[in-house]
Amino acid sequence: MTGIPKFTPLIGAACLVAGLAGPAGAQTPLPSNVMDTCVVSSSEFDSWKAPASGVFKAADSVTFDDANDCNFFKWGAQMFLWLTSQPDGTLVFDGPDFFGVSDDAYVAQNGNAAMTLQPRVVKPQEDTGAGQAGGGGVLISPQGEIIHYGINTNNVYAYYQTGVKSTSNPANFQGELATDFPTTAADLTAITNYADSTFGTSGLSSGDALAMELKTSWIDAASLDNPQDYVTAMATVATFEHTSETTWTQTGTALKRVALVGMHIVGSVNNHPEMVWATFEHINNAPQNGYLYFTTFGTIASASYDGNGNLTWLFNDSPQESHTPVLRIVERATYSGSSTPPTITADSGETIGPNTVVRINPWGDAPIPNLPGGAAQYSGNSSALTRATDLISLNRSVLNWIGDGDVRSNYIQTGSIWSSGGPDAIPTSGTDSVLRGTRRLANATMETFHQFPDSSGTGSFKPENCFGCHSVDKNDSPSQGVSHIFDSLTPLTPQ
């Protein structure tokens, strides 16, 4: 992060432009006058690319430099471009270097089989993280389409978890690697050696990405007017009969082409066994509340809530324009996989139907009131300003180099969170003092109803961010505890 000025007088709402590339209609605006505090140069962007056109390399997590926020945001950006590359016509995270996760088991991938997605985890007694945070809430688009979810891990994660959990072939990992996700070259070597000796692998391709866990959200591509503007894949998804206004009954499954609307990228990096948690969304998903950022003139500008009747969002068709922060997203229905057959049931006083969604905390930080003169009274510290500025600057920079011929230009990073680093800085809650980055991080398609504050208005579940759920009992507890699938996954079986 460079060139951040001290607090300066606030100027009026600045000119906003939509993403530098993407479909017509609603798009998350990126201010054109943002200060360039986090920029990817042409040569740096070229260094992210593999020799094949359109294919990117994984960020090197082993040599990761955690000196500033911008490096974390860049790590996320490069990982997203790598994961959504298609070197052989198959998305990297749907290929052989990754495993799918279904019913507490690893699913081998070779690019030929469709992904298996779920509206919510089938076994509610075990929170494997497949679905909405904080319960069985169902996200439904204005077209009546249910959002489905998938989980993947890379090979490093799978062999590491197997080496820790397997009773027949224990890896005998030593030191911190016995309890914490890999963060060093020595850790990677130990995992690679175990995989080679036990499973007959010959090295782990893209191993320098270290351990990675992904969560993705998808919508039926056939329901979109512009499916060509989305990353798509084939998947097996649940199908439902609309039995009544309050009950939908699962009838089976169907093979469909689905479009990516959100992605959590979680990975261990040098000095960070708690993992870095970055999130990405399609630019058409939902409007977001107002925020402040630094301009090229060193002043502070305000961006207003961008949901109004002139824009059509994928998860918000409300014509109402508001100048005050939206702080509650109504959950209308929940999914129960334990019933026979599984059902979607309306919440009390509700009918099953679309949700009106807003990103409550823009760029992963608290919104501003955006009332006339309200932003001028802003008295918070500048950290939220610098993070918003960094993210806007980074997104504009990356979109510029990607160009409008690449479908990935329709996705932006909306935040990232991590800790101060080291094995004794594993977050114990979403408000832990060790936390760094965007501390109200949420993805509008995954934490829809539990964005901070508790927007569902139900119960006492009030996570501030990812670590509100993915935390441990004390700072020096094993970092393995931040992953909800680590203990429940059945280890791989040697061939």
pTM above 0.85, yes or no: yes
β-bridge pairing 333-336 and 300-303: unpaired
In this prediction, residue 269 has a pLDDT band, given cuts at 50, 70 and 90, of very high
**Percentage of residues in the chain having pLDDT higher than 90:** 66
- Provide the pLDDT for residue 129: 52
The residue ranges of every structural domain in the chain are: 16-479
**Residue range 330-353: mean pLDDT, rounded:** 91
Q: What is the pLDDT of residues 252-261, one digit of tens each?
A: 999 999 999 9
326, amino acid identity: V
β-bridge pairing 115-116 and 232-241: parallel
Among residues 73, 12, 59, 4, the alpha carbon closest in space to that of 414 is found at 73
Q: What is the pLDDT of residues 109-133, one digit of tens each?
A: 876 678 889 886 433 334 445 556 6
- The lowest-confidence range among 57-66, 264-273, 327-336, 409-418 is 327-336
Higher pLDDT, 366 or 416: 416
- Provide the pLDDT for residue 403: 82
User: Is residue 385 predicted with pLDDT exceeding 80?
Assistant: yes
Distances (CA, A) of 319 to 68, 287, 316: 40, 12, 9
Dihedral angle over CA of 52, 53, 59, 63, nearest 10:
60
In this prediction, residue 322 has a pLDDT band, given cuts at 50, 70 and 90, of low
Instruction: Tell me the C-alpha distance between 382 and 453, whole Å.
Output: 21
- The lowest-confidence range among 4-18, 242-256, 342-356 is 4-18
User: Is residue 305 predicted with pLDDT exceeding 70?
Assistant: yes
User: Is residue 358 predicted with pLDDT exceeding 70?
Assistant: yes
Residue with structure tokens 């009332």? 371
State phi, psi for 314 to the nearest 5 degrees. Answer: -65, -35
Q: What is the pLDDT of residues 199-220, one digit of tens each?
A: 999 999 999 999 999 999 999 9
Q: Please, are residues 159 and 204 in contact by the beta-carbon 8 Å criterion? A: yes
Instruction: Tell me the C-alpha distance between 101 and 113, whole Å.
Output: 14
- Provide the pLDDT for residue 165: 92
For the record, the structure tokens of 24 come out as 């017509």
- Provide the pLDDT for residue 495: 72
- Provide the pLDDT for residue 308: 61
- Provide the pLDDT for residue 192: 97
Q: What is the pLDDT of residues 431-458, one digit of tens each?
A: 999 999 999 999 999 999 889 886 555 5
User: Is residue 378 predicted with pLDDT exceeding 60?
Assistant: no
- The lowest-confidence range among 31-40, 130-139, 263-272, 468-477 is 130-139
Top mean-pLDDT range of 313-322, 372-381, 448-457: 313-322
Q: What is the mean pLDDT of the chain?
A: 86
- Provide the pLDDT for residue 118: 87
Q: Around Cβ 304, how many Cβ atoms within 10 Å?
A: 18
Helix axes 383-402, 69-83, angle to 10 degrees: 30
- Provide the pLDDT for residue 4: 42
490, amino acid identity: T
**Residue range 413-428: mean pLDDT, rounded:** 96
CA–CA–CA angle 143, 145, 148 (5° rounding):
150
111, amino acid identity: G
Q: What is the pLDDT of residues 133-161, one digit of tens each?
A: 666 889 999 889 999 999 999 999 999 99
- Provide the pLDDT for residue 472: 92
- Provide the pLDDT for residue 52: 75
Higher pLDDT, 53 or 412: 412
Q: Please, are residues 50 and 431 in contact by the beta-carbon 8 Å criterion? A: no
Top mean-pLDDT range of 45-54, 307-316, 346-355: 346-355
CA–CA–CA angle 251, 255, 257 (5° rounding):
125
